[in-house]
Amino acid sequence: MTVAASLTVHRFEARALGSPLRLIVHEVDRGSSARLWDEVLAEFAAVDASLSRFRDDSEITRLNRSAGGDQAMTASRRLSRALIAADRARRMTGGRFNPAVLADLDRLGYVGAAVGRAARRANASERPIARCADGIRLTDAIDLGGIGKGLALRWAAARIERGCPDAAFLLEAGGDLVARGRAPEGGPWLVGIEDPAGGSGPVAVARIDSGAVATSSVRITRWRSDGRDVHHLIDPATREPADGGLLAVTVAHRDPAWAEVWSKALFVAGCAGVAPLARERGLAAWWVPTDGTTEMTPAARQITTWVAAET
């Protein structure tokens, strides 16, 4: 990305939620930019303390240890909002997104904090999260990793906008991002769609004015379990890694949490279901099947400036 010399652009980098965290901000002074970065770091730290299944002391670990029991547990406003979002995402995606996969991830070797006995849900459509008058009850231990990162981006972006409404920025966490305003060059932000095969460049480039982009991919988080290759994108219907012939799905959406949810749901839908589901929802989506080609919806094509290989 080439930045015009007449503009002052401030860049910050750290790690949060197990991923690289990066902020590019302009149209504000250095001191204001530094304060916005502090807001971002504070939000990601709060999300980590609340939603990380890898922390023994997190709120979600405490709640998961109560899964399947009769006692309701209290939850902070941040965790409550995340649970409401996850339950709505399960309903909106027809169960393709379902947070009740923690036991499956642990069984396959992607182990987080110990939660002890975890309930077994009767079927993939059962509601794992129940709100009641005295708190929250879980029928099964849950993982809020993907949607949690999307929510962290949503909430951190809101902090930036409250702190400096005129700021234009791009905030990225592990390849998922949210952007507001114009890029330093004066046009939309140009976002590369990752090559899940590990190529040297993107498979496509999209224009993002103000919105979010998220990718569900098997490129990084994969390992060997019982002599087979597995990954972290679990199909709730089979309780196994989704095996629908896709390497990656990327979704552009106005909201980073929903971009994350729909990228996972489309990945679970597989080669046979990704196009009809994405078009039905009017999503801007790009996907790479195992043959290495790049495909996209009409909505994605409208904002694509370059693609490595047409299909």
Residue owning tokens 């504000």:
28
246 and 305 in a common domain: yes
Give the chain's radius of gyration (CA, Å).
Answer: 19
- Terminal alpha carbon distance of the chain: 27
Interval 280-292: pLDDT, tens: 999 999 999 999 9
Quote the pLDDT of residue 242. Answer: 98
286 and 194 in a common domain: yes
Q: In this structure, what CATH number is given to the domain that contains residue 283?
A: 3.10.520.10
297 and 197 in a common domain: yes
Quote the pLDDT of residue 6. Answer: 36
- Residue 288 counted as domain residue: yes
95 within 8 A of 237, measured Cβ to Cβ: yes
Per-residue pLDDT of the chain (311 residues; tens, 9 = 90+): 333 333 489 999 999 999 999 999 998 999 999 999 999 999 999 999 999 999 999 999 999 999 988 888 999 999 999 999 999 999 999 999 999 999 999 999 999 999 986 545 545 556 899 877 778 999 999 999 999 999 999 999 999 999 999 999 999 999 999 999 999 999 999 999 999 988 889 999 999 999 999 999 999 999 999 999 999 999 999 999 999 999 999 999 999 999 999 999 999 999 999 999 999 999 999 999 999 999 999 999 999 999 986 54
254 and 197 in a common domain: yes
Q: What's the number of domains the chain is made of?
A: 2
258: containing domain: 188-311
Return the closest-CA partner of residue 191 out of 168, 175, 167: 175
- Residue 76 counted as domain residue: yes
Predicted TM-score (pTM) of this structure: 0.94
Of 143, 176, 209, the residue at which a domain comes to its end is: 143
Q: In this structure, what CATH number is given to the domain that contains residue 90?
A: 1.10.3980
Of 143, 171, 197, the residue at which a domain comes to its end is: 143
- Residue 65 counted as domain residue: yes
- Interhelix angle 77-92/145-163, rounded to 10 degrees, is 120
Quote the pLDDT of residue 86. Answer: 97
214, two tokens: 């998220």
128 and 197 in a common domain: no
Give per-residue burial for 224-256: e unless 16+ CB within 10 Å, then b. eeeeeebbbbbbbeebebbebebbbbbbbbebb
Secondary structure (DSSP) of 41-78: HHHHHHHHHHH-TT-TTSHHHHHHTTTTSS--B---HH
- Residue 255 counted as domain residue: yes
Quote the pLDDT of residue 1. Answer: 32
- Residue 248 counted as domain residue: yes
Quote the pLDDT of residue 131. Answer: 79
197 and 133 in a common domain: no
